[in-house]
Amino acid sequence: MEIKRIPTQIGSMSLVGIINPQYPLSWGNYFSFSPAYYRCINMWAENMEEWALTNNASDIEVAVFDEKWAFVVDERVPEEWLYPKLNFTGGPWPKAKEMKEMLDYAGRPHSDWLCGCEEDEDSAGLGGGGSYRDTKTNEYVHYTLCSMCGTKYETSRKLIT
Ligand SMILES: [Zn+2]
């Protein structure tokens, strides 16, 4: 891990529409920085852009892991502008040992992104996932899946209205 200051510039990002943004957003689009192509794992694109704009910040301090992932550690960024859990969607997927290193650094439990069945440090952690409708409770259930043993982990439930 290496601490670096990199430009507050977005290279690529997901494009989920956000209606009536109220900053800071608790959920937004994931992104990679540019020209350093680090996938940001703890801040949404909208929050980073808005924070940089209102603070006239041309750079931001990040902890870089394996030249792939950037974890914002800039003390100018208030905590509520960050995403407390990590997010890896759409980026390079960490191996178990890389995931542990980042979760430890972020002070998050390993169960956020690891099943516990991974015996090989090079194996993948919780990957894909999806959602289904629970017809008994009439809820949408989102889950992630262990790519090693196939165990399903529920991440959220929402009543269908
Ligand atoms: Zn597993």
Q: Nearest 10 degrees: CA dihedral of 81, 82, 83, 84?
A: -120
CA dist., res. 85 & res. 88, Å (int): 10
Binned at pLDDT 50, 70 and 90, residue 17 comes out as confident
pLDDT, mean over the chain: 90
The rounded Å distance from CA 127 to ligand 1 centre is 10
Ligand 1 center from residue 109 Cα (angstroms): 16
- Residues of the chain with pLDDT > 70: what percent? 100
How many angstroms separate the alpha carbon of residue 125 from the centre of ligand 1? Answer: 8
The tens digit of pLDDT for each residue in 30-76 reads 999 999 899 999 999 999 999 999 999 999 999 999 999 999 999 99
CA–centroid distance, residue 49 to ligand 1 (Å): 36
Binned at pLDDT 50, 70 and 90, residue 160 comes out as confident
121-151: b or e for each residue (b if 16 or more CB lie within 10 Å)?
Answer: eebbbbeeeeeeeeeeeeeebebbbbebeee
CA of 123 to the centre of ligand 1 (A): 10
pLDDT greater than 80 at residue 7: yes
What is the distance between the alpha carbons of residues 90 and 68, in angstroms, rounded to a whole number? 12
